[in-house]
Amino acid sequence: MEEVGEGKDFSFPREEEKVLSFWNQIDAFKTQLKRTEHLPEFIFYDGPPFATGLPHYGHILASTLKDIVTRYQTMTGHHVTRRFGWDCHGLPIETEIEKKLGITRRAQVVEMGIDKYNEECRSVVTTFVEGWEEVITRSGRWIDFKEDYKTMDLNFMESVWWVFAQLFDKNLVYKGFKVMPFSTGLKTPLSNSEAKYKCKEVSDPDAMVTFPVIGDEDNAAFVAWTTTPWNLPCNLALCVNAKFVYLKVRNKHNGRVYIVAESRLSALPANADTKKSKAKGGAKPDSDSYEVLDTFDGASLVGIKYEPLFDYFSDFSSVAFRVVADNYVKDDSGTGIVHLAPAFGDDDYRVCLDNNIIEKGEGLVVAVDEDGLFTERITHFFGRYVRDAEKDVIEAVKAKGRLVKTGSFTHKNPFCYRTDTPLINRAGPAWFVRVDEQLKEQLLKNNDQTYWVPDHVKDNRFRNWLEDARDWCISRSRFWGTPLPIWISDDGEEVVVMDSVDKLEKLSGVKVFDLHRHHIDQITIPSCRGPEFGVLRRVEDVFDCWFESGSMPYAYIHYPFENKELFEKNFPGDFVAEGIDQTRGWFYHLLLLSTALFGKPAFRNLICNGIVLDENGKKMSKSEKNYPPPTEVIDEYGADSVRLYLINSPIVRAESLRFRKEGVLGVVKNVFLPWYNAYRFLVQNAKRLEIDGSGPFVPTDVATLRSSNVLDQWIHSATQSLVCFVRQEMDGYRLYNKLLYCPTPPSCIYDGCSQIVEDCLPSPFSHG
């Protein structure tokens, strides 16, 4: 029997370190993999994190979930390859570099040189890799860091090219010119899913502005309300609803004549004098405020010309500055008349396009650059950041006598989840994956084939996202990422998509060792139409890093260039696990790409955990470090206590957990110390048996025990019930249910679920 020390001298963390040392001594993980390599494969996909800081408790939670499931699958007869992965490209890395180098504008990167910039990015990717390995290994997880995969590796990037080429051949890829969520902090458009990651409640200015009708005998003016006054200099049209009734009214206080929707007359101020109106708190008009001069339907307003606010777009006057109609105009706010700046609103762009005010494509003038600054076309505000210039825009409108009223409104606004800058809508060219109705229907069917824990996330949150799925913007006008493998002729008539390094080398005659921008941007392809048509050049964009992580099931094993049989025999994968925030992230992009490629889901089983918050309820952040360092807590209480604290919480049901160091201490006091004291009691009594001559203590296999003693029978029953329960719950990927013995056999009840367990007896310690 093993020696045990006094309880006060016993340290769980030090005992764990002894175990880790023993595992390392016998190379336990690799030995296990070797011994099970002849068994059926259990395919586990490990979602790649960014190594831009050391792991926090959210990462330890995810690692623990993955470790529990993969260990269990190994114990029940499977070979489970476990390779750690790293997300190496994209905005998180570039953000770190730009902070380090003080870069605030895109032009600075170009001046510096894309080659130098990208190599700076490469240098920081592995900064925290050793720290990650130390924390994850210390937490007790078995995972292969030596054979890890990185999204910046040539093999991984080549498989990403192959994935894109398959989608292109299926006509699921197109180049579009759209209004998209745009991060001025990152100087790039974002996908719709990224735009919804971070929202804040903010107070922004609004404005009610006049647009005088040209040639009206009463000098009437349309009144439009806008919640984005900064884009008033880019106005090209006004939009009404053809089905609404509109009124021409005269203000009895100052004689000004306005046109607004009948249902929105109450939105006008009682006194159209801006100063007085503001002093009265924006009082609503009473029955004596306005005289109705005329009534007409919205359709009759279409085509009427008005005087623009500014002359920045005077070259558009032949087609612009007129009224159009669309049903998207509502009467629950504003004036029933909407100002349209087609470069900065999805509906604005669509309506102006439908009414021939702008031309489809890149002919649209976008008077705000990628840094969020007004371009030289907007002369009075040239070089100003749009949101900083907003108050001055309102003042300029007021100076022209065109401001009816201004105020502020509180609303939720999307923010860049990397730079914490407010997003704007901005038109621009980009490459998209088409999510048409047919693909959306297949996505929903494939989702039904997957098993989620908890299932309500799949059936509600995730399904709702799929039903509302839109075309995916997969290109980024950035530098550090997998470049889009598209070469296009100068006239746009010839397009070649590379699906491999070999194809690029054959068509270009250039040996390729690296696929990053600074290594391949200068490579050209001769036109197949002849020398007179010049050469094809690569488009500048790189992939959204979600495209890379969504390609992980293929790229991490370099499919289809290697491991073809392994992949095709074992796809879809068996298991993935990440946080609930990945419903719009990794889970979605895994499913979208696998459905588009193979018509199958990427995975069969999924555990979705909640978010670990700090003790104040704020999301843990590597940059803010708003949590006690995991290494300190583990050194004080042990990794087992941290793991059990996390697993024995609502977070495994996709709910949130406020991490408290005291909670880990509670696990030590309420679980591990009682267990250890029971163990010490057993060992000490076994020693006494040997000392008093009763003979050596020989443990008996209670599973084969056939004793008439009721306590022995209970032990046997409890053991079998526990085995049955653990297998059932683990096979169902439920890591949270607890086995509770009821006083009346033969039921076994745990967390609301009942099961009849044959051979089950009541606990001898139960009462009643």
Residues marked as catalytic: 48, 87, 546, 582, 586, 619, 622
Angle between helix axes 57-75 and 639-647 (nearest 10 degrees) is 90
Judged by DSSP in three states, 355 sits in coil
Which tokens is 404 given?
A: 């009816």
Within 10 angstroms of residue 146's Cβ, the number of other Cβ atoms is 8
Evaluated on CA atoms 128, 134, 135, 141, the torsion sign reads positive
Which tokens is 376 given?
A: 């030289």
C-alpha 437: how far from chain center: 23
Q: Tell me the β-bridge partners of 181.
A: 425
Which tokens is 445 given?
A: 């069917």
CA distance 596 to 551: 12
CA distance 563 to 572: 15
Q: Which residue type occupies 507?
A: L
The 3 state secondary structure assigned to 16-77 is HHHHHHHHHHHCHHHHHHHHCCCCCECCECCCCCECCCCCCHHHHHHHHHHHHHHHHHHHCC
Q: Are 554 and 163 in contact (CB under 8 A)?
A: yes
Judged by DSSP in three states, 486 sits in strand
Residue 673 makes CB contacts below 8 A (sequence gap 6+) with 7
Which tokens is 726 given?
A: 């653990």
Burial label, 638 (beta-carbon count in 10 A; 0-12, 13-18, 19+):
buried
Q: What are the residue ranges of helices labelled H in 343-400?
A: 346-354, 390-399
- HSE-up of residue 580 (Cα within 13 Å, Cβ side): 21
Q: Tell me the β-bridge partners of 573.
A: 603
Which tokens is 5 given?
A: 């020390």
CA distance 486 to 471: 19
CA distance 13 to 636: 7
CA distance 52 to 394: 41
Going by C-alpha positions, the residue among 135, 110, 129 that lies closest to residue 52 is 129
Q: Tell me the β-bridge partners of 240.
A: 325
Evaluated on CA atoms 313, 241, 354, 429, the torsion sign reads positive
Within 10 angstroms of residue 418's Cβ, the number of other Cβ atoms is 19
The 3 state secondary structure assigned to 263-296 is HHHHHCCCCCCHHHHHHCCCCCCCCCCEEEEEEE
Judged by DSSP in three states, 424 sits in strand
CA distance 728 to 726: 5
CA distance 365 to 342: 9
Judged by DSSP in three states, 86 sits in strand
CA distance 623 to 612: 15
Which helix (H) or strand (E) covers residue 239, if one does? strand 237-240
Q: Tell me the β-bridge partners of 536.
A: 489, 525
- The DSSP secondary-structure symbol of 616 reads T
CA distance 574 to 317: 61
- HSE-up of residue 719 (Cα within 13 Å, Cβ side): 11
Q: Which residue type occupies 437?
A: E
Which tokens is 251 given?
A: 């203000």
